[in-house]
A and B are shown apart, each in its own frame.
Chain A
Amino acid sequence: NAGVTQTPKFRILKIGQSMTLQCTQDMNHNYMYWYRQDPGMGLKLIYYSVGAGITDKGEVPNGYNVSRSTTEDFPLRLELAAPSQTSVYFCASSLVARGDEQFFGPGTRLTVL
């Protein structure tokens, strides 16, 4: 199993550009999450999904969109990138939400200039 994979590893965007961060898991997990981690801070939940076709907002959803058309994939879309979105983005998955460990991907380091 590859676990949770994310692409790209690094990206530099200009203000106002858009991009999609890709996340795929091969563990047949129902739950998937997107977090952002700013320097010296913990992880903040952006969006999560409890299964294909179902998504919900986390703590910091503004400026982002998600979709979940399959169990495996959970892409995160940034529209009109802003410097405040400079961060490291982690995708994670778990079998169930309420009592299971989260498996994290390697992260995408995004800089918006």
Chain B
Amino acid sequence: GQQVMQIPQYQHVQEGEDFTTYCNSSTTLSNIQWYKQRPGGHPVFLIQLVKSGEVKKQKRLTFQFGEAKKNSSLHITATQTTDVGTYFCAGRVNTGNQFYFGTGTSLTVIP
């Protein structure tokens, strides 16, 4: 079945350091979304990528969609304590209505 893998599973960084999480799919995706879930909370939508090679930025967050549309990454520059949480990617294949969520990367920021 469809699989979306995410690495690393956990990341601890000092405040001010950068952070990157990677998402890889076993099949080509039509689009990919990124969500953030704070501890004890629910997932909140961050962004969607659709085009091959697409790059989008939201302040300190940079999102990329691979040329082959099988992988994606989220990079946070100069992390802050407010960035703490788990970041999930969710990919959709061409033929389906459902998104397949990655296993998530839990980010801890040490002040």
Q: A residues near B, CB below 8 A? A: 31, 33, 35, 40-45, 48, 50, 56, 58-59, 90, 92, 97-99, 101-107
Contact = CB atoms under 8 A, between A and B. Distances in A.
Contact of B98 (A42, A58, A99, A105): A58
B48 interface: yes
Interface of B: 1, 4, 6, 9, 30-31, 33, 35, 41-45, 48, 50, 88, 90, 92, 97-104
A97 B6 CA distance: 23
Nearest to B92: A98
B42 A106 contact: yes
A17 to B, nearest CB: 25
A35 B43 CA distance: 11
B48 A101 contact: yes
B42 A107 contact: yes
- Nearest 7 CB-CB pairings of A with B: A101-B45, A42-B101, A104-B42, A97-B97, A43-B101, A42-B103, A104-B43
Given A59-B1, A104-B42, 16 more contacts: A33-B98, A40-B103, A41-B104, A42-B101, A43-B88, A43-B90, A43-B101, A45-B99, A56-B97, A58-B98, A59-B98, A98-B30, A98-B92, A99-B50, A102-B33, A104-B43
Contacts of A103: 45
Contacts of A48: 97-98
A43 B43 CA distance: 10
Nearest to B6: A42
Contact of B101 (A31, A44, A99): A44
Contacts of B104: 40-42
Contacts of B50: 99
B86 to A, nearest CB: 9
B11 to A, nearest CB: 14
A107 B100 CA distance: 19
A43 to B, nearest CB: 4
Q: Among the interface residues A43, A56, A97, A99, which one has the most CB atoms of the partner chain B within 10 A?
A: A43
